[in-house]
Each structure stands twice: as structure tokens, then as C-alpha cells.
């Protein structure tokens, strides 16, 4: 289960409201990253998928969605915020790896569609149901051949990208408080866990 806040998340949140600014040529949250030959070459030179995500973050961070919406824009209604999906689409990875990362992003964002501010039996059942999907994400990432380090680190980065505003972080913390004391199980690396 994702139960701690990585330092990277705190760096993404920032200290003030100036993080709402975008680069001069940006018109709002990014929905597509232009894959120039230079960017492709730089991404391909990275030893890990998470290193590729770091390169994309360094170059396109100002265009991440920081709206007041907890879930942010999702024009194609696939459960992944458009800017995060643009990061995943820009990666130089195999399609099974890309799909596993999208599954991770979808699972990571799902709790933002619910109010977990109060610990009720209904909220606990829903939170555990969402958290169990992460077990499937891990099994899928393992099945598609991600190294254990990339499996863990890409999930941490997806968490950091997803909870990039104070409101999103507070919602994530409320969700994790509901999960306090629950345990997860490991699933075998099998194709059936991939969406």
C-alpha cells in the first residue's frame, strides 16, 4: 500500500502559490509533449523509466495541472489526469510498460473521486477496494518486466505527480488514514492483472 509521502511529493507541492505559473509558451496544463528527436534521444539514454520521468518533469513541470479540481482534467475519461498521461505517453518504453504505468496512474488517482475525510465503515470498504488495485499494479509491472527499482520508483513518481497540490495531498492523507492498519498481499506476476 502507498502509505508514506515521498520527499519528491513535497518538492512538487512547493511552498507557495507561485507554482501555478506556467512557462511563457504554455497555455495551461499539458496534454501532449512534443517528441522532438532531441527529447527522444535524451529519454532513450536514461538507464531507467523513472529517470525518463525525471527528465520530463525537469522540462515540463510548469505545465502540470495545479487547478482547484482534485481530479483535474481528463478529457478522454480514462481515469488518468491528462498531464500525467502526457508524461506517460512521452516515455520511450514498450507498450506493455506504458499500459502498466497508466494502470498505476489510474489507480493512484482513484481515491480523489471520493471523500475520505471521515472514517466510516463504508469509506473503509471503499478505501480497501481501491488499495487492493495497487496489488494488481505491482503484479502487472512485474509481469511486463520492470525491474524492482523501476517498479517502486515509478510508482513513487506517479504519486508525486498526482498529489501535486495541497488539496490533493490532503485528500491522499485522508485516504491513507482510512487504510491505517490494513495489510496488502503480493500477487503473482501474471497477465490477468494487467488492464
Q: Is the pLDDT of residue 177 over 50?
A: yes
Cα dihedral: 106, 11, 149, 48 (round 10)? 90
Please give the model's pTM, rounded to 2 decimal places.
Answer: 0.84
- Cα atoms in the Cβ-side hemisphere of radius 13 Å centred on 127: 26
Would you list the domain boundaries of the chain? Answer: 28-193
Which residues have CB under 8 Å from 9's CB, separation 6+? 159, 160, 163, 164, 169
Instruction: Give the tens place of pLDDT for each residue, 82-114.
Output: 999 999 999 999 999 999 999 999 999 999 999
Lowest-pLDDT range of 8-17, 30-39, 150-159: 8-17
Q: Which residues contact 34 (CB under 8 A, 6 or more apart)?
A: none
Amino acid at each position: 500500500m502507498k502509505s508514506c509521502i515521498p520527499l519528491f511529493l513535497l518538492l512538487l507541492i512547493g511552498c507557495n502559490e507561485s507554482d501555478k505559473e506556467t512557462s511563457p509558451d504554455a497555455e495551461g496544463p499539458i496534454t501532449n509533449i512534443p517528441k522532438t528527436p532531441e527529447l527522444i534521444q535524451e529519454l532513450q539514454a536514461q538507464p531507467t523509466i523513472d529517470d525518463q520521468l525525471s527528465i520530463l518533469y525537469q522540462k515540463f513541470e510548469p505545465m502540470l495541472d495545479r487547478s482547484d479540481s482534485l481530479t483535474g482534467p481528463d478529457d478522454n475519461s480514462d481515469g488518468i489526469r491528462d498531464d500525467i498521461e502526457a508524461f506517460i505517453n512521452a516515455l520511450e518504453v514498450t507498450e506493455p510498460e506504458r499500459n502498466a504505468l497508466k494502470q498505476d496512474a489510474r489507480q493512484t488517482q482513484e481515491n480523489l473521486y471520493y471523500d475520505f475525510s471521515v472514517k466510516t465503515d463504508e469509506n473503509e470498504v471503499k478505501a480497501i477496494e481501491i488499495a487492493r488495485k495497487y496489488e494488481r499494479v505491482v503484479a502487472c509491472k512485474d509481469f511486463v518486466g520492470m525491474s524492482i527499482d523501476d517498479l517502486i520508483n515509478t510508482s513513487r513518481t506517479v504519486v508525486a505527480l498526482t498529489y501535486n497540490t495541497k488539496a490533493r495531498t490532503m485528500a491522499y492523507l485522508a485516504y491513507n488514514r482510512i487504510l491505517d492498519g490494513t495489510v496488502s498481499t503480493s500477487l503473482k506476476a501474471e497477465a490477468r492483472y494487467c488492464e
